[in-house]
Amino acid sequence: EVQLVESGGGLVKPGSSLKLSCVASGFTFSSYGMHWIRQAPKKGLEWIALIYYDSSNKYYADSVKGRFTISRDNSKNTLYLEMNSLRSEDTAMYYCAKATMGYWGQGVMVTVSS
């Protein structure tokens, strides 16, 4: 059974940093691209980052480019999202998703507030 489990969220102040993790199981993690997608409270879905299976390519939404970094450790079956210079508008539920978005984690909440 495919499972994606996010962690690392919480309440942080504007300007601070946070690193999210997504541990994958039930499939060959090293063979698939992975996404981070977020959803602000009562809003729609926003794609924010994609990493290829071998980390050879990374893509970002303009809203997070230069502040967020997606990475992965295939030896640990883990996807990461390092978030710097956080803003109030980054407050959202953050999801990791596999390849064509056939599998999603349960999400982790990030709240940026003073």
Partner 1 sequence: DVVLTQTPPTLSATIGQSVSISCRSSQSLLHSNGNTYLHWLLQRPGQSPQLLIYSVSRLESGVPNRFSGSGSGTDFTLKISGVEAEDLGVYYCVQGTHARTFGGGTKLELK
Pairing of the two strands 45-51 and 92-98:
unpaired
DSSP classification of residue 30: G
59 scored as a contact of partner 1 (CB under 8 A): yes
- Interface residue with partner 1 among 27, 32, 53, 104 (CB under 8 A) is 104
Task: Answer whether 83's CB lies under 8 Å from 70's CB.
Answer: no
Stretch of residues binding partner 1 (CB under 8 A), selected from 15-23, 45-53, 64-72, 74-82: 45-53
Comparing CB distances to partner 1, the nearer of 32 and 104 is 104
Strand, helix or coil for residue 73: strand
Local structure of residue 87 (DSSP, 8 states):
-
Binding mask 5-34 for partner 1 (x = CB under 8 A): ------------------------------
